[in-house]
Amino acid sequence: MTLPRPVWNTTATGSPSTDGQDPGVHLFCLHHAGGTTASFAGWRFDGVTVTKLSYRGWDFMSLGAAADALAERVTASASAQLALYGHSMGAVLAFEIALRLQHTGRVAHVFLAATRPPSGMYGAGAAAVAAAGALSPRAREVLLEDLDLLAGYPGRPPGKKLEVPATVLYSADDPVVPVVDSVRWAEWCSAEPRLVKLDTGGHLFHLGNPDVRLIVEKTLSPEPLSPEPSRDAQTDQRHG
């Protein structure tokens, strides 16, 4: 059976590959449920190509089918080094894509932001809708379609390990994902993930917090051009 094809939007940054040159790290960004690629507007990093992937819940029979199709798109990259940034539901997809591709040795880093580990996903939908605030009828419909897809996700037991370097980003005032759930990602990673706590920003902290982009830049860019993250972004080494 042919998998449905997602809609995606590509934005390239840095120097494109020419004459067989290595294009550098290729970062794929996946938005939150009900979101669009616009949530990553302005994401440009020195030496990194950025592709913003968009998905819609009604395009797929399951979250696994979505991950299969998106993984196919990611692996078609000409870059030898791939990275994934997913926010909320997009982070669940980034995790599943990484599991499918980590055996290739090309996945350099995975950023998992504002999401529970792949168990205990249930019951998040109502909180996400409430946190979204006032929405137009169409925007609410899109959000619910995406959340329906997430609701059918069976999750993964802790024994299924992510074997590539990972950064988990979370906000202290996120009404959807409690801090205690964010730090539990260590149980799904072969090596200890880097845990980064942002003191403010709510659930969609990537929309207005420049520290998020600085963290990604410092992790992926060969020579980051921006200053250090502010004091509000700090690495939390506690694994409660």
pLDDT value of position 176: 87
Is residue 3 a part of any domain in this protein? no
pLDDT value of position 163: 96
Mark 212-240 as b/e (b = at least 16 C-beta within 10 Å).
bbbbbbebbbeebeeeebeeebeebeeee
CATH number at residue 34: 3.40.50.1820
CB of 160 within 8 A of CB of 135? no
Closest by CA position to 31, among listed 40, 44, 22, 23: 40
pLDDT value of position 138: 75
Is residue 49 a part of any domain in this protein? yes
pLDDT value of position 188: 95
CA-to-CA separations, 226 to 43, 61, 85, 212, in angstroms, rounded: 13, 42, 19, 12
What residue type is assigned to position 9 of the chain? Answer: N
Domain extent for 84 = 8-235
Is residue 16 a part of any domain in this protein? yes
Is residue 227 a part of any domain in this protein? yes
Is residue 64 a part of any domain in this protein? yes
* pLDDT, mean of each 10-residue run, the chain (240 residues): 41 36 84 92 92 89 94 96 96 97 97 89 54 68 85 87 96 90 93 92 89 94 52 41
pLDDT value of position 58: 79
In the chain, what is the straight-line distance between the N-terminal and C-terminal CA atoms, in Å? Answer: 43
pLDDT value of position 147: 87
Is residue 2 a part of any domain in this protein? no
* Degrees to nearest 5, angle at CA 136 with 153 and 50: 60
Is residue 1 a part of any domain in this protein? no
pLDDT value of position 121: 60
Provide the domain count of the chain.
1
